[in-house]
Amino acid sequence: MPTVIVGAGRIGSSVLEMAIEADIDLTVIEREPKRAHELDSSDNFRVINDDATERDTLHKAQVDGANAIIATTEEDATNLMVLMLARDMGCQTLVSVVHEETNIPLFEQLGATIIENPQRLIAEYLFRGIQDPGIQDFMHVGDADSDAEVFELVVEEGAPIIGKTLEEADVAGLLPPSMIVVAVERDGEVIIPRGHTRVEPGDFITIFSKDGISQEVTSPFGPHAGSISEGDDFGE
């Protein structure tokens, strides 16, 4: 069964590259003729140059028997219409980019898996790189009102937690009660942490924090982590 990607812009092209690497059976629907023509030279997937909001186009793409459909256009209305038609045709797995927060409930009513406002996500990743260079990756957890985040960081030399077990660090007051160390990666091995797990320099730590990323949470893992607060000015 194919996976259908609607739109081959910046987001769609990135999804397409990953899907090709995963050796997934693909069909791409691209409305813009020049872009569709450029894609059509590939032997890795099928290209349909047409409007995905038309039922006939989705029939050509065999959406009724598709493994999933992924809508990546820059227009929420287009993505929503595509998913509505696809669901009506029997496609069970619906995935879409959503650019405007107010449109999220419409996609949720369809049972779609959504990625909210990718431009804002990129901006937030860039800002995190300034705010706290120790953060390697992060994601929000829960609804829009939740502050909870899961994030990863590397334990730096000179960090106050080095040499301590997680239990010792907790007793010493280094670990806030609102956070949990979820995993420790060391020398390519993932360790499920316990109270006796000792933290070493260079450990790659995955953390869940109910109150989000803050200096209180990150400072035990690096001498400079969390040193820039949200109230600081950057070149102003």
**pLDDT-based confidence at residue 234 (cuts at 50, 70, 90):** very low
Of 98, 116, 134, which marks where a domain is finished?
Answer: 116
Residue pair 149/209 in contact by the 8 Å Cβ criterion = yes
CA distances from 85 to 62, 113, 122, 128, 176 (A): 12, 16, 30, 38, 48
Same domain (yes/no): 105, 190: no
CB proximity list for 9: less than 8 A, separation 6 or greater: 35, 72, 73, 74
Count of CB atoms situated within 10 Å of the CB of 174: 18
> How far does CA 156 lie from the centroid of its chain?
25
Residue 62's identity, in one-letter code, is: Q
Same domain (yes/no): 87, 180: no
Same domain (yes/no): 38, 80: yes
pLDDT at 133 over 90: no
Residue 187 belongs to domain spanning? 121-221
**pLDDT-based confidence at residue 215 (cuts at 50, 70, 90):** confident
CATH number at 148 reads 3.30.70.1450
The residue ranges of DSSP E strands in the chain, in sequence order, are: 3-6, 26-29, 46-48, 68-71, 94-98, 113-116, 135-140, 149-154, 179-186, 189-191, 204-209
Least confident of 3-7, 77-81, 100-104, 113-117: 113-117
Total domains in the chain come to 2
pLDDT at 155 over 50: yes
Residue 48 domain flag: yes
CATH number at 104 reads 3.40.50.720
Residue 226 domain flag: no
Q: Calculate what percentage of the chain has a pLDDT beyond 90.
A: 64
pLDDT in tens, 30-73: 999 999 999 988 888 999 999 999 999 999 999 999 999 999 99
Same domain (yes/no): 17, 108: yes
Residue 83 domain flag: yes
- Per-residue confidence (pLDDT) for residue 222, from 0 to 100: 85
pLDDT in tens, 46-57: 999 999 999 999
Same domain (yes/no): 110, 152: no
Please tell me whether the overall predicted TM-score, pTM, comes out greater than 0.85 for this model. Answer: no
Same domain (yes/no): 90, 127: no
Residue 1's identity, in one-letter code, is: M
Same domain (yes/no): 127, 80: no
Q: And the tokens for 146?
A: 């939740």
